[in-house]
Amino acid sequence: MTPDLKRITTPLTDDVTGPLKAGEKVLLSGFIYTARDAAHKRFIETLDAGGELPFDISGQVIYYCGPAPAPPGKVIGSCGPTTSSRMDVYAPRLISLGLKGMIGKGKRSEKVREALREHGAVYLGATGGAGALLARTVVAAEVIAYEDLGPEAVVRLEVKDMPLFVINDSHGNDLYLEGIERYKK
């Protein structure tokens, strides 16, 4: 393992997210939850109606992903990230309830970045187009909610050494903005 590569394990705590810096490479292990647009909409509808989420969100990581069905002999099919900005309308509320990490691709809104700073959470980037490779890090998968949504159901994944980058850290740093500034020079 190279010195600039950090191993982190769920559930995440401030002790884990606090030292992470935008641009760092991490290997994530533990349990994470897939959820895309339709599942996020249901999360918020459930909360608005006074209900509880289908899992305890405190310290957890949501992966913006709709996994493909598992081929014979595999735990899961391809499971690449989807565009994160579509969840920006929902993310600040979930972060305020204890969500500590999100995995996806693309930029986040200022409101999401503010929520990350305020609550000590992080946004991690997965490489788009590498869903088959990311699937190799999944050691177990189980649908836990909203099975009627098909690939957008909430799936609890157990991952081992999922390779990710810190895009937005809990200190307000943004890898995308830093990259733009670096190349302006």
Name the β-bridge partners of 157: 32, 141
Pairing of strands 61-63, 101-104: parallel
CATH fit for domain 5-16+24-184, picks 3.40.50.300, 3.20.130.10, 3.30.2020.30, 3.90.230.10: 3.20.130.10
How far apart are alpha carbons 178 and 175 in whole angstroms?
A: 5
Point out the least confidently predicted range of 50-54, 120-124, 126-130, 179-183.
179-183
Q: Which long-range contacts (CB under 8 A, 24 or more apart) does 124-127 make?
A: 124/26, 124/28, 124/61, 124/164, 124/165, 124/166, 124/167, 125/81, 125/164, 125/165, 125/166, 125/167, 125/175, 126/63, 126/80, 126/81, 126/162, 126/163, 126/164, 127/80, 127/81, 127/163
Whole-prediction pTM: 0.94
Q: How confident is the model at residue 185 (pLDDT cuts 50, 70, 90)?
A: low
> What does the pLDDT average to over 26-45?
98
Q: Is the predicted pLDDT of residue 140 greater than 70, yes or no?
A: yes
Which tokens go with 119?
Answer: 């609550």
Residue type, 101: G
Kindly give the residue spans of alpha helices, DSSP state H, lying in the chain.
14-17, 37-48, 91-96, 110-119, 131-135, 175-184
Which tokens go with 114?
Answer: 């503010």
